[in-house]
Amino acid sequence: MQCSFGAAPSVLNVLPANRTMTAMPIANIMDNKPFVNIMPFGMCNSMANPLVASATAAAFGALTPMPCAPVTAAPWAPGSPTVMVANMPALNNSSKCMCSYGGVIQLSSPGQFTIQVP
């Protein structure tokens, strides 16, 4: 997956509890916990991130990326309207998660190829 303000791709970790298992666990919209489900994206370029803003100010206005620390308070949206995983909508290829620093996190590869989620 990728964040619009991140410098590197990351992975979505899906914990196996209450999940349908095929070759890989299936994620739902509540798999949005920073550092549990959503790992950092290398360096953050968002001026809404206080670390980036202060480092940029210290560099006299030159954008200075700082280490990413995702802040995802809201669930993924939209989820699948028809497929439920642990009583929550499953993620699909149009699901996005918003970082509180303005980044849009989206899946770049489904990771699951044996089940298609509409």
Q: Is 110 exposed, middle or buried (0-12, 13-18, 19+ CB in 10 A)?
A: middle
Lookup: tokens for 54: 């202060």
The pLDDT of residue 86: 87
Tell me: the pLDDT tens digits for 7-32? 999 999 998 876 666 677 889 999 99
Prior bond of 70 cis (ω within 30°)? no
Q: Say yes or no to pLDDT of 118 above 80.
A: no
Residue 33 Cα distances to 59, 64, 71, angstroms:
32, 26, 8
Q: What is the pTM assigned to this prediction?
A: 0.89
The pLDDT of residue 19: 66
| DSSP SS3 for 113 | coil
Tell me: the pLDDT tens digits for 30-81? 999 999 999 999 999 999 999 999 999 999 999 999 999 999 999 999 999 9
